[in-house]
A and B are shown apart, each in its own frame.
Chain A
Amino acid sequence: DVKVTQSSRYLVKRTGEKVFLECVQDMDHENMFWYRQDPGLGLRLIYFSYDVKMKEKGDIPEGYSVSREKKERFSLILESASTNQTSMYLCASSLPGTGIQETQYFGPGTRLLVL
């Protein structure tokens, strides 16, 4: 059974704080992704990684950084949280390859509120 876990379901932070969101998958997937979901905007890709220590910018990387020191763990970092980063953050993982291997499996999400 595929499993992607995220460290927190709900977080409340203050403007300017450094925020760490952790994601762990137990499926030995090479690819990992961070998205944010906002009403009316769907899922927007922040960063992704296709191997340990590798990272690529997605569509909206500004204000975020990531870390992938181990294959199973992908961290999203908000260096200085701002109110416009209040959102639902979703982590996903997948195998490399094409077709069915591209299916991404998502964690439960972290709802972040920045005050």
Chain B
Amino acid sequence: DQQVKQNSPSLSVQEGRISILNCDYTNSMFDYFLWYKKYPAEGPTFLISISSIKDKNEDGRFTVFLNKSAKHLSLHIVPSQPGDSAVYFCAASARGGSQGNLIFGKGTKLSVKP
């Protein structure tokens, strides 16, 4: 059973518009959430994170929102750029979980069209 779900395998957005990537989780013990970006033939790179004590974290064009009651987080990219085209992974870690382990979603492939 997937504890972290990214239900949209792909998303296509026009350049300059907002990209919204969604992630749902089932484990109420998750207390830290991360987004990674991955280009083909490269390793994932850390993008932004949020602790469960917050509901929003912003870094430049990237904002992550956390809705604990809905067990839902989202990544907003504004404005979207063609260089943002990549696979985005959502990840979570749990209090008391295996040390340092992250649980990853299956990823959403974002395509930003010029």
Contact = CB atoms under 8 A, between A and B. Distances in A.
Contacts of A102: 32, 34, 93, 100, 102
Interface stretch (A13-21, A68-76, A103-111): A103-111
B99 A96 contact: yes
B69 interface: no
Q: Is the interface of B mostly helix, strand, loop or mixed?
A: loop
A105 B45 CA distance: 7
B32 A42 contact: no
Interface residues of A, number: 31
Contacts of A43: 44, 89, 104, 107
A31 B99 contact: yes
Contacts of A106: 36, 43-45
B9 interface: yes
A109 B41 CA distance: 7
24 contacts: A9-B41, A33-B101, A40-B9, A42-B89, A42-B104, A42-B107, A43-B44, A43-B89, A45-B101, A50-B100, A91-B43, A92-B43, A94-B100, A97-B100, A98-B32, A99-B32, A100-B49, A102-B34, A102-B100, A104-B46, A106-B36, A108-B41, A109-B42, A111-B41
Interface of B: 9, 31-32, 34, 36, 41-46, 49, 51, 89, 93, 95, 98-102, 104-107
Interface of A: 4, 9, 31, 33, 40-43, 45, 48, 50, 56, 90-92, 94-100, 102-109, 111
